[in-house]
Amino acid sequence: MATLVALLVGLVVLVGSVSSAKFDELFQPSWALDHFAYEGELLKLKLDNYSGAGFQSKNKYLFGKVTIQIKLVEGDSAGTVTAFYMSSEGPTHNEFDFEFLGNSTGEPYSVQTNLYVNGVGNREQRLNLWFDPTTEFHSYSIFWNERHVVFMIDETPIRVHANLEEKGIPFPKDQAMGVYSSIWNADDWATQGGRVKTDWSHAPFVATYKGFEINACECPASVTADDIAKKCRSSTEKRYWWDEPVLSELNLHQSHQLMWVRANHMVYDYCSDTARFPTVPTECVHHHH
C-alpha cells in the first residue's frame, strides 16, 4: 500500500512528467479575468448574474494524474455548477468531467462525473458527497493510464472506467488533453432537475482553489497525434510511473472504498437508466464496478 500511495502522489517521478502547486506555472485564465481573485496561494473564481469564469492549463497531457484542491460555493449554491475536467479538442474529443452541482442550503452537494470517448458522452454518474465540500478544501483527482481512468476524491476512488478494447469498446488513449475548471450558472438543469433556480441575491458565488498538481506526460503542440501515444508510453528506454504494474488496477482497499461509495452515496448511474438506455450500454455489461 505504501508503494501504491507513493506512486499515486507522484513521489516516483520518471521521464516526461511535471508537477507543481503554483497556478500560474501550469494554468492561465481563459475567460472573465475580472471574475478572478488571487489571495496568496488561493485562487477564487466568482459567478454573478453577469458572468462566470474559467481557466485552463497551458499545456496538454496524455496519461498521469491531475489534482486540484477546491472549496466549493458556500451557502445557497442552487443553480451553480463548478467543473473540473480534462478534455481534448475537436468533434471526436475525449473528456473526463467532475461537475459539482450546487443546492439549497442544508441539502447535500452532489458531484456528477461523465466521460466522452471519441465525441460520445452520456455516461453520467451522480453521487451525494459524504462531507460538506464548502467548509474546507478537498482534493479532486483524475488518474489515467492505458488500463483505466480513475476519478478520486481525497484519494478515494469514486469511479473507474476500464479499458475494454478487447470487447470492441473504444478507450481514450491517443488524444492529449488540457485541464480546465470553471464556474457557471446552470439553473436550467443543475439543481433538482432545474426546479430550483439560482438566487442572485446571494451572488457572488465563489469557488476557491489551491494545490494545483499535474504529474503527467506533457505533449507540446509540436508533437504529432501519431507520436503522442508513443511519447507517453513506457518502453525499454524509459519507464513512466503511471505504467507501473501496481497501478494497472485498484488494490483491494481501493476496491472496497469504491464499493462503499457506490453502495452508500450513488444517486444516479447511466448504466441502470433503462428509460434512457433500453439496451444496457456495452461497457456497463463488462465493467466489474
95 classed as catalytic: yes
Name the grid cell of 106. 442544508
- Rounded alpha-carbon distances, angstroms, from residue 72 to 10, 86, 103, 205: 25, 19, 11, 9
In whole angstroms, what is the distance from residue 72 CA to residue 111 CA?
Answer: 11
3-class state of residue 284 by DSSP? helix
From 39, 41, 89, 99, active-site residue = 99
Q: Are 37 and 63 in contact (CB under 8 A)?
A: no
In whole angstroms, what is the distance from residue 49 CA to residue 77 CA?
Answer: 13
- Rounded alpha-carbon distances, angstroms, from residue 172 to 72, 75, 99, 177: 29, 37, 20, 10
In whole angstroms, what is the distance from residue 164 CA to residue 222 CA?
Answer: 30
From 95, 146, 218, 283, active-site residue = 95
3-class state of residue 252 by DSSP? helix
165 classed as catalytic: no
- The verdict on whether omega for the bond into residue 204 sits within 30 degrees of 0, i.e. cis, is yes
Q: Which positions are catalytic? A: 95, 99
